[in-house]
Structure 1
């Protein structure tokens, strides 16, 4: 009788251990699945100006209100404003780091030195997520025109708008600087029509007086629209980085040139 009771107790104990193991495994699987399902939302950025047209040669406050999941982002890695006059092209752009003033607001003070239409991109990095909304702003008094000119201007505006939709926004990361003899990351973010340029063929063409010939380095896409490659600069000096991006099957071929300074 004692032997039978002992056997029964051992059997019940084994059943309890098996049940605990199953519950624990189920809980771990549930937690793992829940963790994988939690994908960070892309931050939203609203660029704000004063009333347009903005005055020429006067300090103007430009703000970026950054939110994520409808909550203000207080710890963005950076918010940089890239600004250029359309008549001069993006190669004349200036990039200015914004200061966080609280409640998810990042701002700069900027003086527009001439009238015209300007493009402003708010390059924003929050964790692994990058977004770069582009807005247009008018600076200086608008000029009046005759009805014929107005008609022509309207057609040109429509064409410009269509061209802008096809434009690519390329942001090469050079804020952290580059040092000779150290492996460093070359990083660029590319958007097409304000959407990440995904699954593209991207390479960095590197040239300098420090080098005998041009060097091409293929980049890999790490995040949607973010392309990264590793490179070690041989010596200090000025280098030209040309970012080539393409999708041959869609007849997309483009490039953007950047100049960097490599230090000792």
Structure 2
């Protein structure tokens, strides 16, 4: 009888240990997340007015060139200008995406590369000078976040924080009427972005009403919420990330609901 009792206790302990290991294996860690896409903006040492200039973005992931970026665009504007030109880049190989641009005036300029690759969106910014800096007043040479952002559906400005922000939002499909886990893994300068305010802006194609849903930080740099899409169709989910006064980034993605 005692042998049977000891045998049952041993089996119970083994079962509990197996369950504990399974739970540990199911935990999400930072190592499970894909490597961040990194973008380096390359500019000539000297840029003269009225001379065609090549602007490049070198796109890599885990030290390897990214040759299959979904979209690379350059947003170029002169400091103080409200009009921002958006130019689509061409793939030149070896992870390089480039545009050619002629600047009509000397002055202080800003370029932001909008890179969408491997379910991530990266938007590094770089300021540069065209011509002789002494020919232009330094007025207006500051962070373009103040007053030169993009307008959101709620009318808020979308400034761009310093450095590179990568948003990994892997959800592409969902079932109508069923809760779907929306997850965004966010890094700033290749480190998990903690303590940010993250909202998912959700709307259906052709419908004016936009719903804003607040996500909770479940792990360092990982934000989640559960949402049930009420009907089938193409829904747009725009992940808004805010921290402090200067950082406000966003990434849009289409989710197909069946």
**TM-score w.r.t. structure 2 length?**
0.51
- How many residue pairs end up in the alignment? 184
Determine the structure 1 residue equivalent to 2:158: 190
Identify the match of residue 106 of structure 2 among 104, 112, 116.
116
Determine the structure 2 residue equivalent to 1:137: 128
1:172-191 matches, within 5 Å, as 190-191=158-159
Q: Aligned partners of 2:13, 2:214: CA distance in 1, in Å?
A: 45
> Given the alignment of the two structures, is residue 107 of structure 1 paired with residue 100 of structure 2, yes or no?
no
Question: Which segments of 5 or more consecutive residues in structure 1 lack a partner in the other structure?
Answer: 146-152, 173-187, 205-214, 225-229, 231-244, 253-264
Determine the structure 2 residue equivalent to 1:260: none
Identify the match of residue 164 of structure 1 among 138, 144, 154.
144
Identify the match of residue 55 of structure 2 among 52, 59, 62.
62
Q: Aligned partners of 2:71, 2:121: CA distance in 1, in Å?
A: 10
Identify the match of residue 52 of structure 1 among 43, 46, 50.
46
Which is higher, the Rg of structure 1 or of structure 2?
Answer: 1
Question: Which segments of 5 or more consecutive residues in structure 2 lack a partner in the other structure?
Answer: 166-195, 203-207, 222-228, 230-239, 247-258
1:1-264 matches, within 5 Å, as 8=3, 10-35=4-29, 38-40=32-34, 42-54=36-48, 56-58=50-52, 60-68=53-61, 72-86=65-79, 89-99=81-91, 101-102=93-94, 105-112=95-102, 114-117=104-107, 118-139=109-130, 141-142=131-132, 156-157=137-138, 159-162=139-142, 164=144, 166-167=146-147, 169-170=149-150, 190-194=158-162, 199=197, 217-220=210-213
Question: Contact between 1:168 and 1:193, CA under 8 Å: does it hold in 2?
Answer: no
- Cα 1:72–1:115 change in 2 (3 A) is same
**Cα RMSD (Å) of the superposition?**
4.6
Q: Aligned partners of 1:110, 1:40: CA distance in 2, in Å?
A: 32
Question: Contact between 1:123 and 1:132, CA under 8 Å: does it hold in 2?
Answer: yes
**TM-score w.r.t. structure 1 length?**
0.50
Q: Aligned partners of 2:89, 2:76: CA distance in 1, in Å?
A: 11
- Cα 1:31–1:202 change in 2 (3 A) is closer
Q: Aligned partners of 2:88, 2:151: CA distance in 1, in Å?
A: 13
Structure 1 residues 68-96: Cα deviation after superposition (integer angstroms, max 9, x where no partner): 45555455443221223447x34341231
